[in-house]
Amino acid sequence: MTVYQLHSQAPEVARIQTRLKELGLYSGPIDADFGGGTEAAVKAFQRANGLAPDGRVGPLTWDALFGGAVIEAPALTRQTLAYRCLALTGSFETGTAPPDCFAGLAGDFDGQGLSFGVLQWNLGQGSLQPLLVEIDRTSPALTRRIFDAHYPEFEAMLGVDRDDQLLWARSVQDAATSQLLEPWRGMLKTLGRTPEFQAVELKYAQQRFQTATTLCRTYDVWSERAVALMFDITVQNGSINAVVQAQIQRDCAALDRALPRDEREVARLKAIANRRAEAATPRWVEDVRARKLAIATGVGSVHGREYDLAAQYGIRLQPQDG
Amino acid sequence: MVAFATVMVPLAKAFGLAVVAERILELGKNLLEPRLSSRDTRAQPDAAATRRAVADVQARAQRDAATRAAEQAAEQRAPERSTQSAQLHSVRDRLFTESDPAKRAALLKQAGDLSAALTVEERHGEWEERVPTSVLLVQDASDPDDGWTLRSFVLQLLGFAAGILLASFADLRLFSAFLTGGGGGGGSAELPGWVDHVFTGLFIGGGSGPVHTLIEFVTARRTIVQAAELTVAETAADKAFVTSSPPEVATWDGGWVDVPYAGGVDVDLLQSVHRRDADPTIIVYHHTGMSSDSTFDDVVRVIKSGTDGSGQPWLTGYHCVILADGSAHAFCRWDRYGSHAAGFNLRSLGLGFNGNFETNPSVPFANPDGRYGATRPTEPQLRAGARVAALWTFLYRVPVDFERGIIPHRQIAGKSCAGSNFPYDDFKKLVTFYRRTWEQSALAQERITAFKLKPYLYV
C-alpha cells in the first residue's frame, strides 16, 4: 500500500504540496520533500475533513485531496531496475532525492573542475565530456533550448582541450566556495532533470550495472536489493578484493541452512555489507556500513535521510526481473 | 724489554696471520660471488647483444634527425609562437572577466585554437611540466640490499673460521700473552687453551676490515665537517649581499656553485646525437612542476618516464636542475641540445628549478595550497640558479638581457612556467649581481677557466 509520509521524496509529494498550497494550508517550498511543514499541513487538512490526523497521506487522504482519484505509487518504482539502482546510489552520492540526484552538481572542490550527474562524472578526469557530447549530439534541440544564448559557449567548451575546459569551469564558479555561478548552475541542473539526459546517464552507468549483476552471481544472491547493494559497492568502493571475498564466503558458509529463503538472502547481504564496510578507510567504515546496511535491510538512515527502499525506490526483496 | 717482546711477538704473529686470513677471505669472496650475485658481469657480450646495441644507436640517430627537423620547423615559427603564447595568456585571463556569452564563446574558441597550435610542437620538443601529485608517491619499491648483507655475513663467518684454525695451528694465545706476560706454548691457569685460540681467532679473522671501517669513519667525519664549514661561510656572505647591497662587492668573490654530473642522462647515450650546430645564445628557465620535496633522482625518474609526441621516452630535458636545498645537478650534457623549450632547443640552455611555483588555482596542476611543497623557490635555490645562469653567460655568448637572453619559459610557450609566484625580479637582480661580481673577481675568473676543462659540461 502506498503511503506518503515524513521523509518521503517523490514528484508525487510535490503534487500534494501544490494541492495543500492551493487550499491555503501550506506555505513552504514545492520541493518534493515531505518535511515537518508538509506534515503539519496534512494534519490540518485531515482535521478539516474529518479524517484521523496522523500526518500521513494514504488512499483515504489522497482521495479527499484530489477528489476521488486513486493513490499513485511513486513513478520511480515503475522504472527499470537499473534506473532504480542508479537513483538510489545517486541519492546517496549527491545527498538529494530523485530526480534531483540526476542533476547533482559540484564545483572545483577536488581539482576536477566540475562534477555533474548522478555518479558525479567530472571534467578533470575526462569522464563528463562524453556525456555532454552525447546529449548535444542526440538531442541538439534540447541543449540549444536550455543553454540558449550560452549555447555557442557550451559548444566551444566541448571543442577545446582539457586544460581550457578546466579553465572554463573555473571561470564560471566562485573561487572561494567552488559554487557554480548562474546562469550555468541553473542551466546544468535543468539539463540533469530532463529524461533525455537521464537516459544518457543510465547508458554510461550500464557497465557498472553489468558488473553488479555479475557480482550477484559470484556471491549467490538473487534479489533486487542484492543488485542495488552490488551496484552501490561498484560505484562507491570499486570492487570487493580477494581477502574480503574470502571473509564473506566464510560468513555465508556459517549461516544456518534451515533459514527460510528470504532471511538467508538478507543474512548474506548483511555479511557482504559489513565485510565490505570494514575493508574501507578507517575513517569511513561506519559511514559505509550505514549506507550498505540500509540497502541490505531495506530501511535505514544515511546522511540524515530516511530510506525505505521498497516504498521510495521500489527495490524489494524479490527476484530480479530479467 | 722482556715485557715488550712478550707482548709484541704474539701481536706481530697475529697481524701476520690476519693477513693470511684476509687472503683466504678474498679467495672465499671469489668463489662465492658468482653463486650469490644475481648477474654475471664478466660474461662476454654475444653477437645478438652487439647487434641490438648497434640497432639502438641507429634508432637514436633516426630519432635525432626527426627531432631536429621538428625543432627547426618550430624554430621557423618562433616569433609567431611568442606572439601566440602572449595572446593565449591574455585570452585565458579575459575569460575570467568577460560575461557576454557570445564573446566568451569566441574567447574559448580562440584559446582552443591557440593552444592547439602551440601544443603540437611542444609535444615533440619539451616535456610537459605537469605532474599529478600522486606520481611522486607511487614509486616501485626496490630491494636496497641486493644480497650484500648475506654475502658479507657468510664471508665474515668464513674469516672467523679461518682465523680460529690458524690460531690453533700456530698455537697462538694472544690473551694469555697479555694477561700473564708469558706468550707461546704451555697452558695458562686463567684461560683454557682452546678458549684463547677462539678469541685470538676472532681477532685475526676480522682481517683488515676493522681498520677499513675506522679509516672510513674518520674520513667521512672530515668530509661532513668541511661541508658544514663551507655552507656556513657561503651563507654568511650571501646574506650580507641580500641584506645590504654591494659596497663589499669589490672584496667578495661572489661565491660559487658546484655542478656534479651524476645520476642524469648517461653521457654515452648522447655521444652521437643531440649535437649542437652552434653555441647556445639563450637561457630558458623553468619550474619542474613537481614537488619541491622531490630529490634529483625523482626528477630524473619522472622526466625519463614521460614520452614525447612520438611516444618515445625523453632522451634529454633540462641542462641543469636546481633543488630546494640549493644544490645544482647536471641533467644532460651541456654540449648537447636539450628538450625543454620547443622551437628554442637548438640554441638554448635549460635551467629547471625543482618545485611548482604556480599558485593560481585556475591553472591545471597548480600549487595554490602547498600540495606540491614550497610555492616559491628557496633563497639558496634561487641563488644557485642565478649562479648557474651567470656561469653560462661566461661560458657561452648569452647576453645578460632579460628580454632576449635569459627568459622564462612562459614567454615562449602556452604554459605558465616558471609559475606566477616565481620571484622573476629577484632572479634577474641576482643574475646581474653575480655576473658583475665575477667579472671583477680574479678568483671567479680562475674558477670559470677551470670549469671550461670539465668534460660534458663544457668540452
Mean pLDDT of B158-167: 85
Q: What is the pLDDT of residue B286?
A: 94
- CA–CA distances in Å: residue A202 to residues A9, A192, B395: 21, 12, 64
Q: What is the pLDDT of residue B244?
A: 42
Residue B244 cell numbers, joined: 645590504
A156 to B112: CB separation less than 8 angstroms, yes or no? yes
3-state secondary structure (DSSP) of residue A106: strand
Per-residue pLDDT tens listing for chain A (322 residues): 678 888 887 888 888 999 999 999 998 888 888 889 999 999 999 999 888 899 889 888 988 888 877 887 887 888 888 889 999 998 888 888 777 888 888 888 877 888 898 888 888 888 899 999 999 999 999 999 998 889 999 999 998 888 889 889 888 888 788 888 888 999 999 999 888 999 899 899 888 898 899 989 888 888 999 999 999 998 888 888 888 888 998 888 888 788 888 888 898 899 999 999 988 888 888 889 999 999 999 999 888 888 888 888 888 888 876 4
pLDDT greater than 50 at residue B429: yes
Closest CA to B286 of B404, B396, B427: B427
Q: How far apart are CA A25 and CA A58, in angstroms?
A: 18
A156 to B362: CB separation less than 8 angstroms, yes or no? no
CB B331, CB B316: distance < 8 Å: yes
Q: How far apart are CA A238 and CA B90, in angstroms?
A: 42
Which chain B residues touch A171 with a CB distance below 8 Å? 95-96, 362
What tens digit of pLDDT does each residue of A271-299 get?
999 999 988 888 888 889 999 999 999 99
Residue B34 confidence class, pLDDT cut points 50, 70, 90: low
Q: What is the pLDDT of residue B391?
A: 92
Which chain A residues touch B96 with a CB distance below 8 Å? 170-171
Interface of B with A (CB under 8 A): 92, 95-96, 101-102, 104-106, 108-109, 111-112, 115-116, 119, 361-364
What tens digit of pLDDT does each residue of B347-403 get?
999 999 999 999 887 787 888 888 888 999 998 899 999 999 999 999 998 999 998
Residue B222 confidence class, pLDDT cut points 50, 70, 90: low
pLDDT greater than 90 at residue B221: no
Residue B236 confidence class, pLDDT cut points 50, 70, 90: low
Closest partner residue to A168 among B95, B102, B363, by Cβ? B95
Residue B307 cell numbers, joined: 614520452
Interface of A with B (CB under 8 A): 108, 149-150, 152-153, 155-157, 159-164, 166-168, 170-171, 175
CA A210 to chain centre: 18
pLDDT greater than 70 at residue B437: yes
Looking at the complex, report in whole angstroms how far the Cα of residue A177 sits from the nearest Cα belonging to chain B: 13
The answer for residues whose C-beta is within 8 angstroms of residue B24's C-beta and 6 or more apart is: B158, B159, B162
What tens digit of pLDDT does each residue of B43-88 get?
666 788 889 988 988 888 998 898 888 888 888 888 888 888 889 8
Q: What is the pLDDT of residue B237?
A: 55
CB B264, CB B352: distance < 8 Å: no
Angle (nearest 5°) at CA B326 between B322 and B327: 65
Looking at the complex, report in whole angstroms how far the Cα of residue A144 sits from the nearest Cα belonging to chain B: 14
Closest CA to A309 of A31, A89, A39: A89
CA B342 to chain centre: 24
Which run of H or E residues covers position A299? strand A299-302
The answer for residues whose C-beta is within 8 angstroms of residue B408's C-beta and 6 or more apart is: B284, B285, B286, B417, B418, B422, B424
Closest partner residue to B111 among A150, A160, A175, by Cβ? A160
Closest partner residue to A167 among B95, B106, B116, by Cβ? B95
A153 to B116: CB separation less than 8 angstroms, yes or no? no
Backbone angles phi, psi at B353, to 5 degrees: -85, 120
Give the number of A-B residue pairs with CB atoms closer than 8 Å.
58
A164 to B112: CB separation less than 8 angstroms, yes or no? yes
Closest partner residue to B96 among A108, A161, A171, by Cβ? A171
Residue B459 has a CB neighbour count (10 Å cut-off) of: 9
Q: What is the pLDDT of residue B243?
A: 42
Closest CA to A259 of A247, A270, A246: A270
What tens digit of pLDDT does each residue of A135-146 get?
999 999 999 999
A167 to B92: CB separation less than 8 angstroms, yes or no? yes
pLDDT greater than 60 at residue B231: no
Residue B122 confidence class, pLDDT cut points 50, 70, 90: confident
Q: What is the complex's ipTM, to 2 decimals?
A: 0.70
Q: What residue of A is the nearest CA neighbor of B367?
A: A111
CB A153, CB A124: distance < 8 Å: no
